[in-house]
Amino acid sequence: MQKIKLGRLYLVLIFVLMYAPIIYLIIFAFNQGDQMAHFTGFSLRHFREMFADHHLIRILINTFIVAFLSSILATLIGTFGALGIYQIKRPGIKNMILSLNNILMVSPDVIIGASFLILFTLGGISLGFGSVLLAHIAFSIPIVVLLVLPKLNEMDTALIRAAQDLGANSQQVLNRVVLPYIWPGVIAGFFMAITYSLDDFAVTFFVTGNGFTTLSVEIYARARHGIDLSINALSAVMFLFSLILVVIYYVITNPKYNKSGLKLRRRSAMKQRGGIQ
Amino acid sequence: MNNNRQTISYMVPYALWIGLFVLLPLILMVTQSVQNIHHQWTFVNYTNFFSSGTYLKMTFNSIFYALLVTFLTLLISYPMAYILSKLKHSQFWLLLVILPTWVNLLLKAYAFIGLLAREGTVNQFLGFMGIAPQQLLFTDASFILVATYIEIPFMILPIYNSLAEINPSLTNAAHDLGANAWQTLRQVIIPLTLNGIKTGIQAVFIPTLSLFMLTRLIGGNRVITLGTAIEEHFMVTQNWGMGSTIGIILVLAMALTMYLTRDRKKKRRLR
């Protein structure tokens, strides 16, 4: 009994520590004053200021445009990539492609950012919206592949053969049998790609030029100058948005998927699976 | 579906992606690392790196701090994962562990600026306790604290997964054979969760080596990680050759970490 109590206490303590900074941040978004130390009274001032800040709103819109566009394109390329990998018969080639697929998952963000910076500069792609979009598509593709491929692997091939026996051509097999079956994986991949894109700082930081910024980069720039409570207001809005995304993600994907989703949460956490087959 | 031409057409954008965004950037990074500022081919970056005390010390420090953070994370996370695995609605609690990882990393770091600043909340509390205001922000300790805070969920998850996979009859058997709780933990549970621990180490150690924004925002440039050095060379001094060289060193450190913490049992089973 004593032991269980001690365990509960530890659990509560760690959860409090984990959530304290986030709650602290959000509480001070409602502060009347300008500091994150003294709570002088409730006010929505910083929210008003945030929404009146055209520069910030534009960055917010930029961030979402990049997230949606990059996720859609990455989902398309990644899904067809997974379909291609699925059909490769020789295990050697398959494993090689899977390892290449995982390189961007396991590489530290700094390496991805720096190497993309070299790539874009030498390739003559000017830094800005285009380079950020390309970078986000690039690092989202393997996530989509890793969420779609297990769905393909668990699909019963008898389904495909039956469709072919009934006279379906390959286009029909794809549209009527395969795609509906892997759809939950595709959607999960899309959502995961959005959150990766919204979350990313390090890669974006390397490939943004002077004119274009996303939210993370802007927060970094402002945080270097010290406390600015409009960041708190922003973080409250972002937290709410993340919460909504989490709920949608968990509603759409079935429990079995959650587990792989959790594992995917961090690129580097992927190493654990040592090549996903 | 078995149409070969169709397979190829599926693969074209994906194959292009592998070529352009996976292989080419790595090749470019390697070629940059063997060029000096004037784009002449030379190994000067590598010789500089290995002959300079500053770079070696920086690398050593970076590894030391990352090891410390990994160790602290493990120390906090293992009991946490263990308790979580014993709970009834553990999936719900696990979701609570994951939720903070959906909050932008920058925002979490920013929260700590408010907490640890000279006029910040922690200092107010310390003042209340009668301990004069301390310099908390921009110290090594603050870097370690915030890095540990950020990495905890990534350590809890893999350990929890490996704990959840343990067959309860194994621990029951240990009890029946007369092992006390401590012996069961040491001789049954920890060995069985070794792979989870290794995965957690991978998921924490390598990102900590490359956390450059934390060193700037929280560490006040006192702690220089390999990631910070790369960022510095690419964005500030524009010495891409040296930056790439450090990048290659980081990749090698990553490969070594993954080799040391690889899943040995799985390999044996495959053979």
pLDDT at A1: 53
Q: Is it the case that residue B9 has pLDDT exceeding 70?
A: yes
Does the residue B46 lie in any domain? no
**Whether A58 contacts chain B with CB within 8 A:** no
Q: Is it the case that residue A276 has pLDDT exceeding 60?
A: no
Does the residue A224 lie in any domain? no
Report the gap between the CA of A33 and the closest CA in chain B (Å).
14
Residues 110-169 of A with CB under 8 A from B: 110-112, 114-119, 122, 134, 137-138, 141, 145, 160, 164
Does the residue B16 lie in any domain? no
Where does residue B103 fall: left (phi above 0), alpha (psi -120 to 50 degrees), or beta otherwise? beta
Nearest to B122, CA basis, from B134, B139, B109: B134
Does the residue B254 lie in any domain? yes
Report the gap between the CA of A223 and the closest CA in chain B (Å).
6
pLDDT at A230: 85
Does the residue B38 lie in any domain? no
Counted domains in chain B: 1
Does the residue A143 lie in any domain? yes
Q: Which residues are within 8 A (CB) of A32 and not within 5 positions of it... i.e. 6 or more apart?
A: A40, A41, A42, A43, A45
Q: Residue B244 and residue A114: Cβ atoms within 8 Å?
A: yes
Counted domains in chain A: 1
Does the residue B191 lie in any domain? yes
Q: Is it the case that residue A277 has pLDDT exceeding 70?
A: no
The amino acid occupying position A132 is V
Does the residue B6 lie in any domain? no
**Whether B99 contacts chain A with CB within 8 A:** yes
Which of A210-214, B21-25, B173-177 tops mean pLDDT? B21-25
For helices A54-87 and A129-154, give the axis angle rounded to 10 degrees: 40
For residue range A99-149, what is the model confidence (pLDDT) as tens digits?
999 888 888 999 999 999 999 999 999 999 999 999 999 999 999 999 999
Worst-scoring range by mean pLDDT, A81-90, B7-16, B58-67, B74-83? B7-16
Nearest to B1, CA basis, from A222, A139, A98, A182: A182
pLDDT at A167: 84
Q: Which residues are within 8 A (CB) of A270 and not within 5 positions of it... i.e. 6 or more apart?
A: A102, A105, A106, A146, A263, A264, A276
Q: Is it the case that residue B4 has pLDDT exceeding 70?
A: no
> Whole domain around residue B236: which residue ranges?
51-261
- Give the mean pLDDT of chain A: 85
For residue range B176-217, what is the model confidence (pLDDT) as tens digits?
888 888 888 888 899 999 999 999 999 899 999 988 888 888
Does the residue A232 lie in any domain? no
Which of A123-149 are b and which e, b meaning 16 or more Cβ less than 10 Å from the residue's Cβ? eeeebbbebbbbbbbbbbbbbbbbbbb
Quote the percentage of chain B above a pLDDT of 90: 42
Does the residue B182 lie in any domain? yes
**Whether B119 contacts chain A with CB within 8 A:** yes
Query: What's the CATH number where B184 sits?
Result: 1.10.3720.10
Query: What's the CATH number where A129 sits?
Result: 1.10.3720.10
For residue range B17-32, what is the model confidence (pLDDT) as tens digits?
999 999 999 999 999 9
pLDDT at B99: 86
Does the residue B257 lie in any domain? yes
Residue of chain B whose Cα is closest to the Cα of A78:
B14
Asked whether the ipTM of the predicted complex exceeds the cut of 0.95, the reply is no
Q: What's the whole-number mean pLDDT along residues B223-228?
A: 88
> Whole domain around residue A107: which residue ranges?
66-210
Which of chain A's residues have a Cβ under 8 Å away from the Cβ of B99? 243, 246
Residue A103's φ and ψ, nearest 5 degrees, are -60, -45
